[in-house]
Amino acid sequence: MKILQMNFEKGWRGGERQTLLCMQEFRKAGHEVALLTRANNELSKRALAADFTVHTLQKSWQQLPFLIRHAKQFDIIHSQTANTLTWAVLARFFSTTKVVFTRRTAFAVAPKKERMTAFKWKKADLFVAIAQAAAQEPRRLGIEPIIIPSAIQPPRINLQRAEALHNDFKLKSNKILGTAAAFTREKDPLTLIRAVADLHKLRQDFVFIHFGADGDQTPAAKALIQQLNLENVYLLAGFREQVEDYYSLLNVFVMSSCQEALGSSVLDAFLQHVPVVSTNAGGLKEVLADGRGILCDVGDNKALAEGMNTLLDHPEEAASMAEKAYAYVIDEHNAEKMGQRYLQAYEKLLAKDR
């Protein structure tokens, strides 16, 4: 097959990582893969370094004329983002190439956008959701996705970076908890800060490290940390590349999201054998099911604190939970398995026209 992957995001986040993983797996299976993306973004740089054919554009709208000219060269056009799906759908007036879309979010569709979103989604020949949570809105709008979980690859861990952070923050506690999440509303950092304050009332033998970029909740989060006198307990490490390098420091990883399609940072924690306490938002409920972590209701800071306290007090139970989670992520979120699932879906789609 000749496959074109589309992803026009500026940064390097979960969707971009998944796009490159898909490309790598498709090529391993013997297929011809190309990428259409934004010029000079991180995805284009990594794809070029991996010797893929990369088509780069400056402006988002330029995807449409590109597809009008070149879509017929491909068997499959795989749109990895909502933005790219818009242009792939418009290009269908000029080409019969099959369009696949992967939804990676669990956000509700705004009422005023429902008709346009449903129209666009229904124009995809195949709709993929990365978790049941990501499939709920399409189903509500009359679309039945197939579920293909995202994959994750064991990273090469640089323990020296963890040691350097330990020294930089002068960490004296034997118990270190943490999270990796931007300070945005959907990540609900304020509930997490309150949970850490509740835990601090129960015990004072820990610190909490928050890795993550600033967002709309940053001012409120900093004010709450100060208000609750947590300056020496709740440590802000900011955004860090290869944040997985620091997971070796953690006794417990915590997620407080109120919206989450999957929760790739939780999968990263699973890979590093770190036990997890999390809210049950979206796909997190699926990921941490069957005893792979402690689940709490969204917004329940008391439950999060109790979960953290339980894992700190019962290290053997925490270790057993972490091993179960590790086995799960290695099997269910395996890159090769994800690639095969997509390729089987592609083949089934193309077979309909034969």
Rounded Cα distance, 35 and 303, in Å: 44
Rounded Cα distance, 6 and 265, in Å: 23
| Each residue's pLDDT tens digit, 118-127 | 999 999 999 9
Indicate the pTM of the whole model.
0.81
Is the pLDDT at 46 greater than 80, yes or no?
A: yes
The position carrying tokens 């409120």 is 220
> Does domain 159-332 match CATH 3.40.50.2000?
yes
With vertex at residue 199, the alpha carbon angle to CA 307 and CA 314, rounded to the nearest 5 degrees, is 45
Q: Which of 14, 70, 78, 83 is nearest to 43 (CA)?
A: 14
Check residue 290 and report its DSSP letter.
T
Query: Which whole-number Å values give the CA distances from 242 to 157, 166, 180, 191, in the listed order?
Result: 8, 16, 11, 25
- Interacting residues of 279 by C-beta distance below 8 A, sequence separation 6+: 188, 191, 255, 256, 257, 258, 260, 295, 296, 297, 298, 299, 300, 304
Q: Looking at the domain covering 2-151+334-351, what would its CATH class be?
A: alpha beta
The pLDDT of residue 12: 84
Is the pLDDT at 14 greater than 90, yes or no?
A: no
What residue ranges do the domains of the chain occupy? 2-151+334-351, 159-332
Angle between helices 114-122 and 82-90 (to 10 degrees): 70
Residue 249 contacts residue 209 (beta carbons within 8 Å): yes
Confidence tier at 156 by pLDDT (50, 70, 90) = confident
Please classify residue 310 by burial: count the beta carbons closer than 10 Å to its beta carbon, then call 0-12 exposed, 13-18 middle and 19+ buried: middle
User: What is the average pLDDT across 172-190?
Assistant: 91
Helix (H, G, I), strand (E, B) or coil at 56: strand
The position carrying tokens 């993306």 is 37
The position carrying tokens 């306490």 is 277
Q: Strand 32-38 and strand 146-147: pairing?
A: unpaired
User: What is the average pLDDT across 56-76?
Assistant: 96
Confidence tier at 138 by pLDDT (50, 70, 90) = very high
Q: Which of 110, 103, 155, 111 is nearest to 130 (CA)?
A: 103
| Each residue's pLDDT tens digit, 290-314 | 999 999 999 999 999 999 999 999 9
Rounded Cα distance, 166 and 82, in Å: 40
| Each residue's pLDDT tens digit, 219-256 | 999 999 999 999 999 999 999 888 888 998 999 999 99
Confidence tier at 158 by pLDDT (50, 70, 90) = confident
- DSSP strands (E only) in the chain: 2-7, 32-38, 53-57, 76-79, 98-103, 126-129, 146-147, 175-180, 206-211, 234-238, 252-255, 276-279, 294-296
Domain 2-151+334-351 matches domain 159-332 at the CATH topology level: yes
